[in-house]
Amino acid sequence: MNKYTLPKLPYAFDALEPYMDAKTVEIHYTKHHQGYCDKLNLALEKHPALFDKKVEDLLIGLDSVPLDIKTAVRNFGGGFVNHNLFWECMSSKKSECSGKILTAIKNDFGSFEEFRKQFTASATTLFGSGYTWLVLSNGKLEIMNTKDQDSPLSVGKKPVLVIDVWEHSYYLKYQNKRADFIDAWWDLVNWAHVEKKYLD
Ligand code: MN
């Protein structure tokens, strides 16, 4: 039985400056993300056999998770996995959307500009706490929002790209100006990784 541990952040806390400040990255990773991991581990101690599973598989099969820890897996397992992808999808090195992921975006949204417009609108208008995602659903790319720590995996969709729009993701630097944070976030997207997730 191995407890879950956070994947190492793929860059330094200050690597995403000036778009995302070092303090926000540090608190978000060492407090929020770590907190979800710790709470997930605590909940699963009641059913230690589940530690042998991938958290992603617990979220895909949420309906078969024991009832007494189902909400904990949904919230803390979701928080663990959602943040993993959020960090992976960013880089200090600026990149352009290209290759197979660009072709797919053009096919399903008309143009990259139209995709970016729709994704930005979805993230800007999400009410409360949650995430905006690019997901693969029956071979087609879609934009969707999830509330709290819900994962697209639990509704049969495959995450490809995500932005965390909980206030803890931007409030220190951007205060209430979520739209400014989203605009800056586009400069951080690691398109090679997004393409890898798309092709996985
Ligand atoms: Mn977060």
Which domains are delineated in the chain? 22-88 (1.10.287.990), 99-199 (3.55.40.20)
Mean pLDDT of 38-57: 96
Query: SS3 helix, strand, coil % of the chain, rounded to 5?
Result: 60, 10, 30
Residue 41 CA, ligand 1 centroid: distance in Å: 18
Look at the pTM and tell me if it is higher than 0.75: yes
Q: Give the Cα-Cα-Cα angle 119, 121, 123 (nearest 5 degrees).
A: 70
What does the block give as tokens for 66? 């024991």
Ligand 1: distance of its center to the CA of 107 in Å? Answer: 31
Three-state DSSP at 90 gives strand
pLDDT of 101 above 80: yes
Retrieve residue 43's tokens: 């909940």
Query: Rounded mean pLDDT of 136-149?
Result: 98
Compute the average pLDDT of residues 136-147. Answer: 98
**112 Cα: distance to centroid of ligand 1 (angstroms):** 26
| Mean pLDDT computed over 64-84 | 98
Residue type, 176: N
Q: At 2, is the pLDDT very low, low, confident or very high (cuts 50, 70, 90)?
A: confident
pLDDT above 90 (res 170): yes
